[in-house]
Amino acid sequence: MKFKNRYFLLSLALMVFAAFKLSAQDYYVSALSGNDTNSGSENAPFATINKGVAAVNAGGTVYVMNGTYTNQNYGTALAHSSDGSLSVNMSNPPAVTINKSGTEGNYITIRNYPNHSPKIIFDGKGGILISGPQSYVIIEGFEVQGPAANITYDMAITDRDWKIKCHVEGLNYNHNYFSGFGIWGGFSQNFLHHHIIIRNNIVHHTTGSGIRFNDSDHITIENNTVYNTTWWTSNASSAIVFAEAIARSDQDNGDDIKMIMRGNTVYNNWNRILFYKTNEPPNSGNDNPTYGTAAFTQIWDGQGLYVTRSDDSYNGTFLFENNLCVNNGKNGINFDHSVAASGLMRNNTIYYNGVHEIIQDLSVAEGNTAHRGQKVGGLKANKVKNITVLNNIVMTRDNNFSALELPNIYGSIKVATNNIFVNGTVAYPGNQVPANQINVDPLFVSAPTLNDDATSIAGWAGYLDGTDFSLQQNSPAINRGLQSNTPTIDILGNPRPIVQDNSDVLSSSSFEAAADGWYNFGNITVAQSTETAKTGSKSLKTSGRSANYHSPKINLNDLLNVGETYTFYVWVKLAEGSGSVQLVVKSTVNATTETAEDEITYINLASETATANGWVQLKDDYTHTQNDQSFLYVKGPEESNGEFVDYFIDDFSLVTQGTGEVDFTDAGNVVDIGAYEYQAGLSASDNPMQAKAVYAYPNPTKNMLTLINVTDEESIGVYDVLGRKQTIQQQRNPNRLKLNVSNLKRGLYFINVSNSNGDTKAIRFIKK
């Protein structure tokens, strides 16, 4: 009996080992040379991606080689037409279905084979579906194309009419041809997806959203290009969408960042067909009784990045960072109807969105009915708990569109600082200066102008060709971001400035780049000044005082936790004379009834005598007591001889108790505003790592890519996302290197620039 047990245990161990070995096995797919009866090895690949998915296990990868991969019955779809002809195959299945999960630390990966650019084309439900409760999956390196280029307005509006007829008469409407997604999952509250990564894909001409996840948690969508989507659906879609987010578990329902959209380029996504709903979606928050009915006449959708209708108990934070959103129908980024969730929008470039009205003008010129909508074109958060908007560039076409909307923020955090807003209306606190820059040209290298707007629908096709949204060397966005809360890299993979370990630093500024969230308390001027500085060349000056309390202030609610103790450090200097200066915290507890009054308290902290002869430091500990409204201000000297003296503050630090102040000796290199970190051109004498000076444009590009600041001593190599070197033609000119990338497939590539010291700089670019 003991022998049998030992034999059973040995057999079990062997089976577990075999299962482990199988889980790490990779499979290969080729539409050009594969066969599904093959073994799936690199030399004997499968023919279909679905076969590779069926074979792979947790920890394994399905490598997909060059070729075109389509859904079953592809090419047989035939839509209704206005002449009464019936439709055929309007609900073809997805091209790829992923119906299994990886495990924590052992993702299932479906990706392009090194140096290959596989293409998925569909004419039904979509390109890649993650079905069921699948999790721990990575999808990357594909081009996914829908049928939108072959659809006309007449076809789409006729299909909407058919949808209405089916709903009213109880007929079966199943025309996914007009709502197909590129890459998607969800749509069942009986289960959810979690820990899924969608990256480095190009998705275009889908009738529905390019990338969308419903009923999900822990989803990352990064470094994708999504364009020309959502044109023809009557399902109110947007380019990249998180909808109905739901927590993975009660234990995993904190306010940490779990849902991420970053590094994506999203453009030319708009709706042309009116929404029609057959049922009210969960958590819609819709209070317009005609919205989505046959009688409704406006289009309210076609956003670039969109988060909506999260579960009422979902507490997670949605992160939007380093995205480029251009020429989408409505807002570049919209976050709404997620009452318990928070949003962080940082370092995005949002340009000329809200194109919907122009599209409708052109559609009317083509003989179609006008479907007007909302004049929004920037960033929006509505009916959410908390929102933080920082380090973004938002530029609308004109002042008829909103650049920032922040209505119905239910929590204590409503922050908008260190942004640049050009044109359009800007909601509080984004309209506060100098915390934000208003109507200041960000000086992009090469951005479209109003003269580049198309005069026909087809004319928008090349709208981003030759554009470059990185910054000119004199851009006001350079070194002007909020340094204490930034991404580590930009949209191209270039590093952001490295700051000291800031795990204990809640906020800091030497005011070299911006006011960093400080603004006026009272009708005064608070602005950067070069008159004097503790370190660097700038400080923050308060002038025009007419009352004792007139001071510079910074909000605390987005920075501090109730019950915890912190330390403030700030240096103060007067413009003339001498007088008392003091740190003060003002707190307001909102009244709980309409008849009650707000409770206001002042907490007086450290005070010192300041002069015009040198800098004095104010330092004190503070325990945060409540989170309705609190701010810190540096109170200046009282009136003297009928005047209130101007004064300066510098080198501010807010840290956890017991932590020293920030070292500001190298305060000039601060993160830039927007999705692109400026890449300065330096000579070898300025910086021995010459490769860091190299800059590539235009990006994205179709044919030619130019590198500037490349010396004859430097060598370059172009690699795909899996590190395989590409063969391209090069032409050297003084301080320039032109690369002909026309032979490359669409996708993401890296240029490695190396110098004689062995230093290497990786520059990311997208081949269109």
pLDDT digits (tens, 9 = 90+) for 3-34: 233 333 333 333 333 343 344 599 999 999 99
Evaluate the CA torsion angle 206, 210, 213, 214 in order and state its sign.
Answer: negative
**DSSP conformation class of 450:** G
Round to the nearest angstrom and report the end-to-end CA distance of the chain: 68
User: Would you say the pTM of this structure is higher than 0.75?
Assistant: no
Contact 182, 128 (CB under 8 A): yes
695 closest CA partner among 430, 492, 439: 492
**Tokens matching residue 206:** 């889908």
Contact 706, 737 (CB under 8 A): yes
| From 103-107, 395-399, 650-654, 698-702, the region with the lowest mean pLDDT | 698-702
pLDDT band at 280 (very low <50, low <70, confident <90, very high): confident
What is the rounded average pLDDT of the residues 135-152? Answer: 96
| From 146-160, 485-499, 569-583, 714-728, the region with the lowest mean pLDDT | 714-728
What is the rounded average pLDDT of the residues 354-368? Answer: 92
pLDDT band at 189 (very low <50, low <70, confident <90, very high): low
3-state helix vs strand vs coil in the chain, percent to 5: 10, 35, 55
Contact 63, 30 (CB under 8 A): no
- Maximum mean pLDDT: which of 566-580, 667-681, 715-729: 566-580
Q: How many residues does the chain have?
A: 768
**Tokens matching residue 31:** 């539409």
Question: For residues 607-632, b (16+ Cβ closer than 10 Å) or e, as one string?
Answer: eeebebeebbebebebebebbebbbb
What is the rounded average pLDDT of the residues 716-720? Answer: 82
Provide the strand spans (E) within 49-145: 61-64, 68-70, 96-98, 108-112, 119-121, 126-130, 135-140, 143-145
Name, in order, each residue with C-beta under 8 angstroms of 403's C-beta and a sequence gap of 6 or more. 377, 378, 379, 394, 395, 396, 421, 422, 423, 424, 425, 426, 430
pLDDT value of position 703 = 80
500-505's contacts with Cβ under 8 Å and 24+ in sequence apart are: 500/662, 500/663, 504/655, 504/656, 504/659, 505/653, 505/654, 505/655, 505/659, 505/662
Location of structure tokens 């797919």: 29
Contact 536, 396 (CB under 8 A): no
- Element spanning 166, H or E: helix 153-169
pLDDT band at 566 (very low <50, low <70, confident <90, very high): very high
Is pLDDT at 265 greater than 60 in this prediction? yes
**Tokens matching residue 412:** 């204590």
**Tokens matching residue 768:** 């269109």
- Pairing label, strands 225-227, 760-767: unpaired
Contact 449, 327 (CB under 8 A): no
Beta bridge partners of 184: 129, 212
362 in helix, strand or coil? helix
CA distance 89 to 124: 8
**Tokens matching residue 435:** 């915390």
CA distance 520 to 356: 37
**DSSP conformation class of 245:** -
Question: C-alpha angle with apex 651: 649 to 655, nearest 5 degrees?
Answer: 120
- Element spanning 499, H or E: none
- Pairing label, strands 393-395, 349-351: parallel
**DSSP conformation class of 92:** P
CA distance 141 to 139: 7
CA distance 551 to 556: 15
CA distance 69 to 446: 36
Contact 163, 175 (CB under 8 A): yes
Helices marked H in 578-674 — which ranges? none
CA distance 342 to 536: 35
Cβ neighbours, 10 Å, residue 517: 25
21 CB burial (10 A radius; 0-12, 13-18, 19+): exposed
What is the rounded average pLDDT of the residues 482-501? Answer: 80
Q: What is the pLDDT of residues 530-548, one digit of tens each?
A: 999 998 889 999 999 999 8
Contact 271, 296 (CB under 8 A): no
Alpha-carbon distances, residue 396 vs 228, 247, 280, 431, 701 (angstroms): 20, 35, 32, 15, 24
Beta bridge partners of 220: 197, 260
pLDDT value of position 6 = 31
348 closest CA partner among 394, 392, 304, 406: 392
635 closest CA partner among 552, 693, 569: 552
Q: What is the pLDDT of residues 303-356, one digit of tens each?
A: 999 999 999 999 999 999 999 999 999 999 999 999 999 999 999 999 999 999
Asked if residue 429 has a cis previous peptide bond (ω within 30° of 0), the answer is yes
pLDDT band at 765 (very low <50, low <70, confident <90, very high): confident
- Element spanning 10, H or E: helix 2-23
167 in helix, strand or coil? helix
585 closest CA partner among 624, 534, 640: 624
Mean pLDDT (the chain) is 87
Is pLDDT at 52 greater than 80 in this prediction? yes
703 in helix, strand or coil? coil
**Tokens matching residue 257:** 């960042």
Cβ neighbours, 10 Å, residue 174: 11
- Element spanning 582, H or E: strand 578-589
**Tokens matching residue 429:** 């606190």
